[in-house]
Amino acid sequence: MTQSTSLPTAERLPTLDILRGFALMGILIMNMPGFSSSFFAEADGSYLWAHPVDRAAEQVREALFSGKFNSMFSLLFGVGFTIQYARMHERDPAHATALYLRRLLALLAFGVIHALLFWPGDVLHNYALLGIVLVLGLRHVSDRGLVALIGACLVYPAVSGLARLAVITPAITAERVRIAQAFEASNHAAFGAGNYLDMVRENTRMMVHFYTDWLNLWGTAGWYVMLGMTMLVGVLAGRRRWVQRAGELMPQIRRLMWWALAIGLACGAAFALIFELNRAPGPSPIKLLGSICYSLSRVAMMCFYVLLIVRAAESARGRRWLAPWQAAGRLPLTNYLMQTAICLVLFQHWGFGLWMKVGPAWGLVLSLAIFFVIQVPWSLWWLQRHERGPLEALWAWLTYGGAAARAAPGTVRQA
């Protein structure tokens, strides 16, 4: 049987690494509230942080970052799937599907371990499960079929919102608030006052709740739909080689970038205002409009960021300015999990105990400090000595086996 190694440095697309670096930075900014306080805070519509600076930082974070960067990672996952699967199929068509599924199962294992033993906000298992669906069910779908699926995903938030208006009663809303407040209290006890084992038990309780409670499953389905949509866009981009053809597509990229910015900012301002003025729990028609605006802003701003970075990366000067993000993006799995490790030590009671002591404004500053002061210099240092990150190397070993993972880049080893 033949086996392929992971993508060698010489064959990497620098623009994709730069985009991964930006996605890592944005994900850290959006994950910071989940590291430093309860996921279930503000369930009754109250304010967790009352200072005007914190309130302003929270609004900026929601409008410019919320949902945009995990969607960017999902898009990159789709592009990467197209490139990697094509290489695997070219070198070993009989085993390409099994090999890629092995890669996804390894990612799923990383995600489950991360969610249960460290932090329940993990997204790796989400990407892995969507990737399995992609490999087993959607890899042969035509481009036209992908466009139809993307359109259906865009419509889903409106359909789901209308269903919520019909199904969710005031009694159900009151019960949801009670459950959220109970979890908020147990989060404070486990994360703000407990030890590591208390944290693991609470993580497990939360993950079980996310995937067994019927209303949470409904919300989780919407989460998967939105990530799946951008993943399909990535597959389409990979098939049509949009990243490789960025130079010839630059006129279209410029036009689309400004349209995406206009739509993203308008919808972002609309959903921020709607949800700020309608904080009472429970569905309503105006909140449905806000949810639709959020979904459109999420996609549009993500597209704006991607297109802006692609434009900048086309020039030598732009690539020099973007080198810090490229370095971080070369080690996406290691840096993503490193963010959890750093933040757990900072915020958990068994670490420095900063739980509930860092508001949105300082959280934004801290996110940028972790990324630029720790992760970028560490990535540059590591890449001067190694071709891959430590967890990327482990992932390659789990996917290809020890011999293939140690093989010279670009070779095909006989087993």
At 132-142, the pLDDT tens digits run 999 998 888 99
Instruction: State the pLDDT confidence band at 167, using cuts at 50, 70 and 90.
Output: very high
Helix 214-239 crosses helix 143-167 at what angle (to 10 degrees)?
160
Q: Which of 7-16, 155-164, 239-248 has the highest mean pLDDT?
A: 155-164
- Determine the Cα–Cα distance for residues 72 and 23; give it in Å rounded to an integer: 6
Residue 404, pLDDT score: 52
Query: DSSP character for 61?
Result: H
CB crowding 267-280: b at 16 or more within 10 Å, else e: bbebbbebbeeeee
DSSP 87-104: HHHHH-TTTHHHHHHHHH
3-class DSSP assignment, residue 3 = strand
Residue 402, pLDDT score: 64
Residue 406, pLDDT score: 54
Does position 365 have pLDDT exceeding 80, yes or no?
A: yes
Mean pLDDT of 171-188: 95
Does position 385 have pLDDT exceeding 60, yes or no?
A: yes
Does position 58 have pLDDT exceeding 60, yes or no?
A: yes
User: Do 22 and 252 meet the contact criterion of CB atoms below 8 Å apart?
Assistant: no
Mean pLDDT of 146-165: 94
Mean pLDDT of 121-128: 96
Structure tokens at 412: 């095909």
Share of the chain above pLDDT 70, in %: 94
Partners of 3 in beta bridges = 413
Residues 386-407: pLDDT tens digits? Answer: 999 999 999 999 998 865 555 4
Residue 67, pLDDT score: 87
Structure tokens at 72: 């960017």
Query: Exposed/middle/buried for 34, CB within 10 Å: 0-12, 13-18, 19+?
Result: middle
- Determine the Cα–Cα distance for residues 176 and 165; give it in Å rounded to an integer: 15
Instruction: State the pLDDT confidence band at 410, using cuts at 50, 70 and 90.
Output: very low
Closest to 16 measured CA to CA, from 400, 343, 332, 403: 332
Residue 70, pLDDT score: 92
- Determine the Cα–Cα distance for residues 117 and 111; give it in Å rounded to an integer: 10
Does position 248 have pLDDT exceeding 70, yes or no?
A: yes
Query: DSSP character for 8?
Result: P
The CA-based angle 173-178-184, given to 5 degrees, is 125
Residue 394, pLDDT score: 95
Instruction: State the pLDDT confidence band at 94, using cuts at 50, 70 and 90.
Output: confident
Phi, psi of 139 (to 5 degrees): -70, -20
User: Do 221 and 123 meet the contact criterion of CB atoms below 8 Å apart?
Assistant: no
How far out from the chain centre does Cα 112 lie?
A: 15
In 330-412, where does DSSP find H-type helix? 332-347, 360-369, 376-383, 390-400, 402-406
Residues 291-312: pLDDT tens digits? Answer: 999 999 999 999 999 999 999 9
More reliable by pLDDT, 402 or 230: 230
Residues 1-48: pLDDT tens digits? Answer: 334 444 554 457 899 999 999 999 999 999 999 999 999 998 888 888
List Cβ neighbours of 219 (8 Å cut-off, separation of 6 or more). none
**Which CA distances in Å does 133 have to 25, 43, 157, 172, 323?**
27, 33, 21, 32, 34
Does position 71 have pLDDT exceeding 50, yes or no?
A: yes
- Determine the Cα–Cα distance for residues 63 and 57; give it in Å rounded to an integer: 10
Does position 86 have pLDDT exceeding 50, yes or no?
A: yes
User: Do 380 and 328 meet the contact criterion of CB atoms below 8 Å apart?
Assistant: no
Instruction: State the pLDDT confidence band at 161, using cuts at 50, 70 and 90.
Output: very high
List Cβ neighbours of 125 (8 Å cut-off, separation of 6 or more). 107, 108, 111, 112, 114, 115
Mean pLDDT of 141-166: 94
In 65-138, where does DSSP find H-type helix? 68-91, 96-117, 124-133
Q: What is the mean pLDDT of the chain?
A: 91
Residues 305-361: pLDDT tens digits? Answer: 999 999 999 888 999 999 999 999 999 999 999 999 999 999 999 999 999 999 999
- Determine the Cα–Cα distance for residues 128 and 114; give it in Å rounded to an integer: 13
Query: Exposed/middle/buried for 167, CB within 10 Å: 0-12, 13-18, 19+?
Result: exposed
3-class DSSP assignment, residue 414 = strand
The residue whose two tokens read 């090999």 is: 99
| Sign of the CA dihedral with 244 first, then 250, 256, and 260 last | positive
Mean pLDDT of 254-271: 94
